[in-house]
Amino acid sequence: MHTTIKFTQAGAIKAVLFDLDDTLWPILPVIRHAENTLHGWLLEHAPVVAGEFSSARLRAMREALLLAEPRYHIDLWKLRHTVLSEAFRHCRTDLALVDRAMDVFSHARNAVTPFDDVVPGLLRLAKRHRLGSISNGQADLAQIGLAHHFSYSIAAHQSGCAKPDPAIFLGACEAMGVLPAETVYVGDDLRLDVEGAQKAGLRGVWMKRDGLADNTQVPDHIVPDAVCGSLIELEIWLQSAT
């Protein structure tokens, strides 16, 4: 079990906000499966596109576009749609198929399996705290079946800004009727989640799940308020911190 880090300033924690991908479920295998599912659909419905644009090539195109136009960080669905449209245009294939292709990808992308501790942990946490979520990704909590656990959820494409921008954290606090100092944000990314939340005045907890977080990449200037390996450890820390 991971050792938690206590902060020195004790105070009432009224709300807990969560990141989604790699915090509540592993995302890499889901994305790879979704991309493979999309490629299979393209082989059947747009074979010229599938033959010229592999999943790896489309991924490289997205990375290049994201580097050239960082605004796409706010809407990853639009990023994928834009690159896929470019591939369809290149192959002179009916652009009307792009939306259908994206529906295929999105459905597979939301076929996630939460970590075993997530559902029981959310149920217990909801008895003591208001729960919400903030994500830069495109997860559909209603489709996944977890939306009812959260009183508030926001994604970057809905907010108009993305983590680590303080505005997305502060907007969530305002919507939930809590002060940043009364709120904890839990996520797997030290820069986007922990540092972003702390700069907005929230407490930042690093969800360091086994096999996902890389200890060698911890910047010296980022010090999480706590390090947890599961929602069970998060509960223990919250009980000691309030």
Tell me the average pLDDT across 176-197. Answer: 97
Contact residues for 36 (Cβ-Cβ < 8 A; gap 6+) = 55
Q: What DSSP designation does 91 have?
A: T
Query: How confident is the model at residue 11, as a pLDDT?
Result: 61
pLDDT tens for each residue of 43-67: 999 999 999 999 999 999 999 999 9
Instruction: Check residue 241 and give its pLDDT.
Output: 78
Contact 151, 130 (CB under 8 A): yes
Q: Which of 98-102, 111-115, 188-192, 219-223 has the lowest mean pLDDT?
A: 219-223
DSSP summary character for residue 225: S
Q: Does residue 78 share a domain with residue 37?
A: yes
- Report d(CA 121, CA 186) in Å as an integer: 13
For 4-34, how does the pLDDT look when each residue is reduced to its tens digit (9 = 90+)? Answer: 434 334 468 999 999 999 999 999 999 999 9
Same domain for 137 and 22: yes
Of 64, 89, 109, which residue sits at a domain end? 109
C-alpha to C-alpha distance for 182 and 28, rounded to whole angstroms: 32
Alpha-carbon Rg for the chain, nearest whole angstrom, is 19
In Å, how far are 31, 37, 114, 144 from 23, measured between CA atoms?
Answer: 15, 24, 9, 15
pTM: 0.90
Domain count, the chain: 2
Q: Give me the domain span that covers residue 46.
A: 28-109
pLDDT tens track for 133-171: 999 999 999 999 999 999 999 999 999 999 999 999 999
pLDDT confidence of residue 95 = 97
Distance CA 161, CA 169 (A): 10
- The CATH number covering residue 73 comes to 1.20.120.1600
CA 141 vs. chain centroid, Å, equals: 11
- Write out pLDDT tens, residues 66-110: 999 999 999 999 999 999 999 999 999 999 999 999 999 999 999
Query: Among 82, 109, 136, which residue terminates a domain?
Result: 109
Classify burial at 64, counting beta carbons within 10 Å of its beta carbon; exposed 0-12, middle 13-18, buried 19 or more.
exposed
Q: Mean pLDDT across the stretch 215-221?
A: 68
Q: Given the structure tokens 């000691």, which residue do they identify?
A: 240
Boundary of a domain, candidates 88, 109, 130: 109
The span from the CA of 204 to the CA of 38, in Å, is 36
Q: Is the pLDDT of residue 38 over 60?
A: yes
Percent of the chain scored above 70 by pLDDT?
92
Per-residue burial over 1-33, b = 16 or more CB atoms within 10 Å of its CB, e = otherwise = ebebeeeeeeeebbbbbbbbbbbbbbbeebbee
What the block records as the tokens of 4 is: 């938690």
Query: Domain check: are 100 and 68 in the same one?
Result: yes
pLDDT at position 8, please? 36
* Residues 202-221, mean pLDDT to the nearest whole number: 79
At 214, the pLDDT band (50, 70, 90 cuts) reads low
The count of other CB atoms within 10 Å of the CB of residue 117 is 17
In the prediction, which pLDDT does 240 show? 85
Does residue 76 sit in the same domain as residue 168? no
Task: Give me the pLDDT at residue 228, please.
Answer: 96
- The per-residue pLDDT of the chain, averaged, comes to 92
Average pLDDT over every residue of 177-192: 96
What angle (nearest 5°) sits at the alpha carbon of residue 116, between those of residues 73 and 183?
55
Q: Which are the contacts of 139, defined by CB distance < 8 A and separation ≥ 6?
A: 20, 21, 109, 110, 112, 155
CATH code of the domain containing 196: 3.40.50.1000
Same domain flag for 88 and 22 = no
Flag whether pLDDT at 3 surpasses 50: no
pLDDT per position as a tens digit, 132-143: 999 999 999 999
